[in-house]
Amino acid sequence: MLGLLAKAGYPVDNDEELADYVIVNTCSFIQAAREESVRTLVELAEANKKIIISGCMAQHFQDELLTELPEAVAIVGTGDYQKIVEIVERVETGERVKEVSTDPTFIADENLPRYRTTTEGVAYLRVAEGCDYRCAFCIIPQLRGDQRSRSIESIVAEARQLASQGVQELILISQITTNYGLDLYGEPKLAELLRALAEVDIPWIRVHYAYPTGLTPKVIEAIRESPNVLPYLDLPLQHSHPDILRGMNRPWQGRVNDGIIERIKQAIPNAVLRTTFIVGFPGETEEHFSHLLEFVKRHEFDHVGVFTFSAEEGTAAFGLPNPVPQAIMDERRERLMLTQQPISERKNQAYIGQTVDVLIEQENPETGELIGRSARFSPEVDGLVYVTGEAILGAIVQVRITAADTYDLYGEIV
């Protein structure tokens, strides 16, 4: 949207005080995300800003938002953001615009202009949009439609554009990246995509949202043999117990969890594994939760995120019997995080004395301390590396690690 608006001549600024229009790209995945979106919208409304609401919440609650927020001048659905210039032009004439396709089919490609808001060294690259799975807790397919993949040629073309802009790290995203290409080619083509991207002059390529069933020997081999594809795998496992996975409508996963994790570790000994879990799914007993605790202890993931279950209207899990009280969900989340913390700290401390590549992203103007990430850390969800020495922002430099804690590393440029 920003790319299209900038190309059309609209000045763009990240300071809403200066803006005539503020676009709020909302999330509607869980209640907490909606509450954060609503707080932002209300704050802007109180500041008398003209608000354009886009994203999943716009798709989900279009009529309610228009009713409750008279300051909203437009609602833009998840399959309609490419129309943003036309929408603003219509708003300028005094029209209140609702542009929401009931069945989103659009996906951006390399021909659409981009206006990156990440640090200069990092870019996200969407390889597919939508999801064909129907997990019981998830409303994303209703908001974003079924999976639609871009061609390998399209993705590589955009990657080359980003490389020419100095991007050092490319993060591949979709709802299920390991299913990339299934809709377009009749079979998943992630391995072929990774090998094609290995030819692009970008030092780090990171894969997010790699469902375990799609990590075939062919994909693992492509990761191992492509020097710029990081051995970093983000596996959204959600749970370990077969009963809970069956309730989540992910029964296939219970059969592969242990096997695939061991296979990854054997094939890629230096693999960095991140995962997320949901605690408190309806019917989760203490026995189910203990199974999850033992699973985390056994596999020693590098990074773990934990969410409490959020009952979302319109999903199969909404209104299921045997709900888990919020207090118990919170307590289980805390116990799981406390179980993971010493594992994360031990993994970090193993790097003390080693020299690692770090992508420098920030500088503290007062102290001169640099902040970056090693290849083990993905932006915003993992740790940071605090660095002494001199380097330009957006550069990958060698750093000797001198200290570590549960989440972060500390070091000096060599």
Binding site residues, as ranges? 131, 135, 138
Whole-angstrom Cα distance, residue 387 to residue 399?
A: 7
**Closest residue by Cα to residue 16 from 47, 37, 53:** 47
Give the 3-state secondary structure of 333-361. HHHHHHHHHHHHHHHHHCCCCCEEEEEEE
User: Angle CA(55)–CA(58)–CA(62) in degrees, nearest 5?
Assistant: 165
Contact 376, 302 (CB under 8 A): yes
Burial readout 378-411 (b: 16 or more C-beta within 10 A, e: otherwise): bbeebbbbbbebebeebbbbebbbeebeeebbbb
First and final C-alpha spacing in the chain:
41
Contact 240, 257 (CB under 8 A): yes
Length of the chain counted residue by residue: 414
Binding site residues for [4Fe-4S] cluster, as ranges? 131, 135, 138
Q: CB-based contacts of 210: which residues, under 8 Å, 6+ apart? A: 177, 178, 233, 234, 235
**Closest residue by Cα to residue 241 from 203, 273, 209, 287:** 287
The enclosing H or E element of 98 equals strand 97-99
Kindly state the DSSP code that residue 384 receives in the 8-state scheme: -
Kindly state the DSSP code that residue 364 receives in the 8-state scheme: -
Contact 386, 361 (CB under 8 A): no
Looking from the CA of 89 toward its CB, the CA atoms found within 13 Å total: 8
Q: Is 162 left (phi over 0), alpha (psi -120 to 50) or beta?
A: alpha
